[in-house]
Amino acid sequence: MTKTGSAAAVAGANFALVKYWGKRDDRLNLPAAGSISITVDSLTTRTSVTFKDTKERDSLLMNGKAVSGKMLDKVSGFLNLVRNRAGIRQPASVETVNSFPTGAGLASSASGFAALALAASNAAGLNLSRHELSVLARQGSGSAARSVFGGFVEMNRGSRDDGEDAAATELAAAAHWPLTVTVAVTDLNPKDTGSRDGMALSRETSPFYPNWVAGADADLAECRKAVLNRDFGKLADVSEFNCLKMHGVAMSSRPGLIYWNDTTVRLIHEARRMRNDGIPVFFTVDAGPQVKFISLPEAALTVKTRLDGMPGIKELFSCSLGEGVCEAKGGAG
C-alpha cells in the first residue's frame, strides 16, 4: 500500500512535579516509575510532516535549519514506527519550530515528540486515539507521552513488557486549577548530558537510585491528592521534595551530574524566600539549569516582579496551563 499525505500539529511543553528519572526498558522508553506533570500553553512545538513519493531520505528542518546526524536518525527511527503501523514506505520531510530554546532543559523533546506523533500519524492516514498517541510519543521521549494531554497529567508506569499500558492520562483539566508557571532561563546553551544518558548513569551508579524508585508511588499519591484538592501548600511540599530528590540521585551518580549553575541555586533560595514572605509559589528544576516557578495566578505578577532584573536570568517566560497536542493548519512555521 502506498500513501502520501501531509499534516501539522502543535504541542505544549510539560514540567514534571513528580519526576521521571529512570527506565525499566531502554528500547521502549518504559519508565521505572510513574510521573505527574503540568502541560503549559506558551512554550510550544509546531511540526509538519509530509510523506513524499520520492526516493529521497527523510529530512528534518528544525527552527529553519537542516538537521542531520543523530537527531535526524532519531526522528527517522520514530517515523519508522508510524510507517510500519500504516504500511507505508515513503520518506518524510519534517519541519519543526520551537517557540523556546531547544535542548536546554525546557522540555523541547516532550513537546517535540508529542507534536511529531500526531503530525506523522495523521499524515500517514492513521487515526490514533489519545492513548495510542501517548504510547507512540513515549517511544520518542518518555516525557512526550504526557504532552499528549493538557492540564494536570499522570504518566502510568505500566507493567506490560510491550509498553502498551505505559501511557499518560489526564488527571485534571487545565480549568480545574489554573496555575501559572514563570520560567527563568539561566543558560541558553544545550546541556552537556541529556536526560536519556543521565538517567541511565543514575540507574547504574547512584546508591540512591533504588530508594528513588521505591519512593515514587508515595510521592505520586501525595501529588495526585494535592492536585485534586487544590491544596497549594501540599503540592509545593511534595513537588520540591521530589525535585530535590531527583537532583540528589543525579548528583550522587558517578561521575556526578550537576545540572545547576550558580543562578539556579540562587533562584531556588529566592523561591523559598518568596514562600516565607507569604507568596504562593514553589520551584521545580529538570535536567538543566532553568528554574520554573509555579504559583497561583494571583501571585504571578509578584513573582515576575521579584525575578525581573535578577542577575543571571537570561530570559523570563510566563505560561498558563494548556491543552494537549492538537492538529494545526498549514506548515510548521
C-alpha cell at 293: 516557578
Q: Does 282 bind ligand PMV (CB under 6 A)?
A: no
Of 142 and 322, which has the nearer Cβ to ligand PMV? Answer: 142
Stretch that binds ligand PMV, among 135-143, 157-165, 169-177, 178-186 (CB under 6 A): 135-143
Among 52, 196, 234, 266, binds ligand PMV (CB under 6 A): 196
Of 88 and 321, which has the nearer Cβ to ligand PMV? Answer: 321
* Dist CA 116 CA 97 (whole Å): 11
Angle at 43 between CA 248 and CA 168, to 5 degrees: 65
* Dist CA 139 CA 324 (whole Å): 17
Of 36 and 49, which has the nearer Cβ to ligand PMV? Answer: 36
> Per-residue x/- marks for ligand PMV, 142-181, CB under 6 A?
xx--------------------------------------
Stretch that binds ligand PMV, among 12-20, 92-100, 233-241, 298-306 (CB under 6 A): 12-20
* CB 270, min distance to ligand PMV, A: 21
> Per-residue x/- marks for ligand PMV, 287-326, CB under 6 A?
x---------------------------------------
* CB 239, min distance to ligand PMV, A: 12
Among 121, 141, 202, 242, binds ligand PMV (CB under 6 A): 141
Q: Does 35 bind ligand PMV (CB under 6 A)?
A: yes
147 φ, ψ (degrees, to nearest 5): -75, -5
Of 247 and 275, which has the nearer Cβ to ligand PMV? Answer: 247
Q: Does 187 bind ligand PMV (CB under 6 A)?
A: no
Q: Does 98 bind ligand PMV (CB under 6 A)?
A: no
Stretch that binds ligand PMV, among 14-22, 118-126, 215-223, 227-235 (CB under 6 A): 14-22
Strands, sheet with 291-295, edge to edge from the N-terminal-most edge strand: 281-284, 291-295, 180-185, 315-320
Identify whether the C-beta of residue 146 lies closer than 8 Å to the C-beta of residue 223. Answer: no
Identify whether the C-beta of residue 54 lies closer than 8 Å to the C-beta of residue 4. Answer: no
Among 12, 19, 163, 232, binds ligand PMV (CB under 6 A): 19
Bridge pairing between strands 59-62 and 92-98:
parallel
Write the CB contacts of 317 (distance below 8 Å, at least 6 apart in sequence): 42, 43, 100, 182, 183, 185
Q: Does 263 bind ligand PMV (CB under 6 A)?
A: no
Write the CB contacts of 309 (distance below 8 Å, at least 6 apart in sequence): none
Phi-psi region of 125 (alpha: psi -120 to 50; beta: other; left: phi over 0): left
DSSP per position, 103-152? TSSS-HHHHHHHHHHHHHHHHTT----HHHHHHHHHTT-TTHHHHTS-SE
* CB 21, min distance to ligand PMV, A: 6
Which residues lie near ligand PMV (CB under 6 A)? 16, 19-21, 35, 109-110, 141-143, 195-196, 286-287
